[in-house]
Structure 1
Amino acid sequence: MSWIVWAMLSAVFAAATALLAKLGVAGVDPNLATAVRTTVVVLFAWVIAVSFGAHGGIAHIERRSWIFLTLSGLATGLSWICYFRALSLGQASKVAPIDKLSVVFVILLAWPLLGERITLMKAAGGALITVGAIVLAFA
């Protein structure tokens, strides 16, 4: 499958995540809800890694990758804590679009950090995402 199919599947599962999380966080402390969800993700990820035999590569992960994967994990945890807090306070249909502003941040930060170019089309797409998120959040 191409990256587009995988990205679309990711979007579908992200939508399910928002809806299911909103239902699950009702009456539950958002930090506890995040901990429960994270535990499920950790167990699921290890089942997948072991099932496909990928766990054997853990000894070959270089120090630099460990550092960036650890930092990515910390950023993910902080994102989820903030996301669950937002879901506990607001409507899923308003929280999710604001969360997707992460796409705009990636476009902007991929330029200095990864050397990716900001083309006219990327800038236009980022602007449309920004306007769309604001419209949806305040509709």
Structure 2
Amino acid sequence: MTAPWWWFALGSAVFAAATALLGKVGVSGLPSNLATLIRTLVVLLVCVLWVTLRGEWRRPEAISWTSWAALALSGVATGLSWLCYYRALQLAPVSRVAPLDKLSVALVMVFGVAFLGEHPSPAQWLGGGLIVLGVLILAWF
């Protein structure tokens, strides 16, 4: 039986919180770009181990070009996001950086509508707006 999607989403939130705290400690005394490289290498090793343990390797030609392109662009976006995040952690307290980073929740809602044709409910839009309000309060006050 597969765990519900929200268990993985909650796990993501817990690990993201740990990422912020440990990242703040990790960038102390290092250039933020070097810290990001070290983190990226560890992520690569963890992913290789996980895919190997789960037996999920595929031949490259069995993966569609659409998947290759989307994942490559996603990787570029991830790398740029991490570089910006670690630099922000060097320059400001984690308690201000992490909330501002959560603007991604509202942005992904807008992008989901614009690019994927999604239709959030009024309650979801309200929640997204409250996240934006919360981010503004946490980051600037």
TM-score by length of structure 1 reads 0.96
Structure 2 unpaired stretches of 5+? none
TM-aligned CA deviation for residue 59 of structure 1:
3.6
Residues paired across the two proteins, number: 139
For residue 54 of structure 1, give the secondary structure of its aligned residue in structure 2.
coil
Three-state SS of the structure 2 residue aligned to 1:31 is helix
Which of 26, 29, 37 aligns to 1:27? It is: 29
Greater mean deviation of Cα atoms: 112-121 or 15-24 = 112-121
Match of 2:129 among 127, 130, 133: 127
Tell me how far apart the structure 2 counterparts of residues 68 and 35 of structure 1 sit (CA, whole Å): 22
Matching residue within 110, 113, 121 for 1:111? 113
Identity %: 47
Unaligned ranges ≥5, structure 1: none
CA apart distance, 1:5: 1.0
1:41 maps to which residue?
43
Task: Return the alpha-carbon distance in structure 2 between the equivalents of residues 113 and 122 of structure 1.
Answer: 18
- Higher mean displacement: 48-57 or 78-87: 48-57
Q: Which residue of structure 2 lines up, in the alignment, with residue 17 of structure 1?
A: 19
Task: Say which is worse superposed, 49-58 or 73-82, in terms of deviation.
Answer: 49-58
**CA deviation profile, 1:74-120 (whole Å, cap 9, x unmatched):** 00000000000000000001100100100000000100201101321
Equivalent-residue separation in structure 2 for 1:48 and 1:58 (angstroms):
18
Give the superposition deviation at 1:138.
1.5
Query: Where does residue 139 of structure 2 map in the other structure?
Result: 137
Which letter does structure 1 place at the counterpart of 2:5?
W
Q: Look up the match of 1:81.
A: 83
Secondary structure at the residue paired with 1:27? coil
Equivalent-residue separation in structure 2 for 1:131 and 1:49 (angstroms): 38
Answer yes or no: is 1:5 the counterpart of 2:7: yes
Letter in 2 for 1:91: P
Report how far residue 57 of structure 1 moved.
4.8
Q: How well do the aligned residues superpose, as a CA RMSD in angstroms?
A: 1.0
- Counterpart of 1:65 in structure 2 is 67
2:70 is paired with a residue whose SS is helix
Q: Provide the secondary structure at the position in 2 that maps to 1:117.
A: coil
Opposite residue 108 of structure 1, the aligned amino acid is V
Instruction: Give runs of ≥4 in structure 1 deviating > 2 Å.
Output: 56-59
